[in-house]
Amino acid sequence: MIAGGCFCGAVRYEIPRHAAFNETNCHCSICRRTTGAPFVAWFTVKRADLRFIQGVLTHFHSSPAAVRGFCSRCGTQITFENSASPVDVDITTCSLDRPELVPPVDHTFAADRVDWVRLCDGLPEHPAKRPET
């Protein structure tokens, strides 16, 4: 199992070690604004693979189709849920205890990136969301 949680420790979760997919660095303006960061590393798991073992998240709608979950004590954003993908949930990679276990494989919404961010990691860059495969 891979474990993670919020900054203050009030919320803890775990996922199976190999459950992660769609590992990305998202540069969309909503991710930037909800975190105050130039981009956010995310990965996706099946909702059934995510188990909260301590605390509960507070949720807010960041758009009509999206809900973000965060710790109400410290503000750490942990989840992103899109109504278009009801069986999946995205998790902030750096809320993991060991984020190095789930490295990004690309950049999404790269067309929206802040102009002073230089992408030089060699990962594929998608102007918007990742193309469907």
Structure tokens, 94: 């750096």
Domains and CATH numbers, the chain: 2-112 (2.170.150.70)
107-108: strand order across its sheet: 58-63, 66-70, 77-82, 88-92, 40-46, 21-26, 107-108
Q: What is the pLDDT of residue 122?
A: 96
Q: Is 78 exposed, middle or buried (0-12, 13-18, 19+ CB in 10 A)?
A: buried
- Mind listing the pLDDT tens digit of every residue in the chain (133 residues)? 999 999 999 999 999 999 999 999 999 999 999 999 999 999 999 999 999 999 999 999 999 999 999 999 999 999 999 998 999 999 999 999 999 999 999 999 999 999 999 999 999 999 999 887 6
From CA 116, how far away is CA 74, in angstroms rounded? 28
What integer pLDDT is reported at residue 133 of this predicted model? 63
